[in-house]
Amino acid sequence: MPGRATFGAEHWHNYVTVNKHFAARTIEALEKCLEQNKALDNNTPPIIWIHDYHLMLAANWIREKAEEKQLPCRLAFFLHIPFPPWDIFRLFPWADEILQGMLGCDMVGFHIQDYCLNFVDCCQRNLGCRVDRNNLLVEQGERTVRIRPLPIGIPYDRFVTLAKTAGKLLKSDKQKIILGVDRLDYTKGLVHRLMAFETLLEKYPQHKEKVSLLQISVPSRTDVKEYRELKEEVDQLIGRINGRFTTANWAPIRYIYDYVAQDDLAALYRDAAVCLVTPLRDGMNLVAKEFVACQINASPGVLVISPFAGAGEMMHEALLCNPYEVHAAAEVIHRALTMPEDERILRMSRLRRRESECDVSNWMRSFLKAMGTLDVDDVGTTIMQPVTVDDFDDYLLK
């Protein structure tokens, strides 16, 4: 969301300082690790796995110092948020430094293919790197950096156990609950969601007194002005909708602005008729996966997901909902509420099968495979092909 971005040289200086500090401490930890490995007669180079946007510069300094001290290691980076397309990324004043920092790794991972392609495109257009889009490779100096889609999972079995043991929190079986669980963040599309629910009640009055939206908003960055303003906007919108539709026996929206214990959350996931995961932008969104894991009832609920969440790329059995299209979103919610049971069972069973297979342990195994540290038949192409005359022709045509 470039319109909300502000760039400050002092902030950038602090970011660089923090990354250098982490790099220095990582080298200290690497030295200790290598000493322990030597004592155990283990010659395998340790893997340093750097996570998320907080440390996008650290890899280059780690590599530089490790080579200087002759400390063998392999470096990987994983970004948990979306990587933007080039026309947005180039707005950032220090875009080149970010790319060079990430390319200090041997492998860079993202949640989905689109983010990988965005990164590869930025490396070519900003830095002039030679790239292989088909095999997701970027040439950086004398090294070839692998770019890999590695969608994260959840501890699936743990959520299933929580759902089985959690007590019942929703007292009435006659009223359907639409559940939303988010940080209070402008990327989560809460205002759009509330407007869609209001439109639902306008267009389909038969849902009045039969359906409630339970929105859980976890406090986030309460010291930031924009987040406080968002809270005020959400509070006012909920107040207006409740004031408009509330009856003596029913309030359309129940709002929890607080942290919710995981076992309570599992109970709500389990018993909700619909779960709305409708961010305006999100790297993956694990709420969608947690909801699916907890759907153990014989008559399951329905997942509604935004195409702008990474999870929307792979959870094909969910109902897709563009949060920007408020009236269309209301129609999707109505469809979810009125979906026949046999269709709900079919969709949810397929979602559950996939999430049980692609859990967080599978994510770790996929990472190790991509790093080439497991005995596997094929870890994909890892080396750029030599430059040919045709390559020069291609570049000249651009």
Per-residue tens of pLDDT for the chain, all 398 residues: 667 778 999 999 999 999 999 999 999 999 999 999 988 888 889 999 999 999 999 999 999 999 999 999 999 999 999 999 999 999 999 999 999 999 999 999 999 999 999 999 999 999 999 999 999 999 999 999 999 999 999 999 999 999 999 999 887 778 999 999 999 999 999 999 999 999 999 999 999 999 999 999 999 999 999 999 999 999 999 999 999 999 999 999 999 999 999 999 999 999 999 999 999 999 999 999 999 999 999 999 999 999 999 999 999 999 999 999 999 999 999 999 999 999 999 999 999 999 999 999 999 999 999 888 544 444 456 666 666 666 555 555 54
Instruction: Give the list of residues 6+ apart from residue 257 with CB closer than 8 angstroms, or none.
Output: 184, 217, 219, 231
* pLDDT for the residue numbered 38: 87
Quick one: which of 95, 23, 91, 7 has its CA closest to 55? 23
Q: Which residues are catalytic?
A: 80, 282
Which letter, b or e, does each residue of 237-264 get, where b requires 16 or more Cβ atoms within 10 Å of its Cβ?
A: bbeebeeebeeeeebbbebeeeeeeeee
Which residue intervals of the chain are DSSP H helices?
9-39, 58-68, 86-89, 95-102, 113-127, 156-165, 190-203, 225-245, 262-271, 287-294, 326-338, 341-357, 360-370, 389-397
Please give the full DSSP string across 332-346, using - where no structure is assigned.
HHHHHHH--HHHHHH
Query: Can you tell me the distance from the alpha carbon of 304 to that of 319, in angstroms, rounded to the nearest whole number?
Result: 5
Query: Can you tell me the distance from the alpha carbon of 331 to that of 321, in angstroms, rounded to the nearest whole number?
Result: 9
> What's this model's pTM, rounded to 2 decimal places?
0.90
* pLDDT for the residue numbered 391: 59
Token pair belonging to 219: 């406090």
* pLDDT for the residue numbered 5: 79
Angle at which helices 341-357 and 287-294 cross, to 10°: 110
* pLDDT for the residue numbered 6: 85
Query: Can you tell me the distance from the alpha carbon of 217 to that of 188, in angstroms, rounded to the nearest whole number?
Result: 10
Query: Can you tell me the distance from the alpha carbon of 226 to that of 223, in angstroms, rounded to the nearest whole number?
Result: 9
Domains of the chain: 2-152+366-397 (3.40.50.2000), 156-357 (3.40.50.2000)
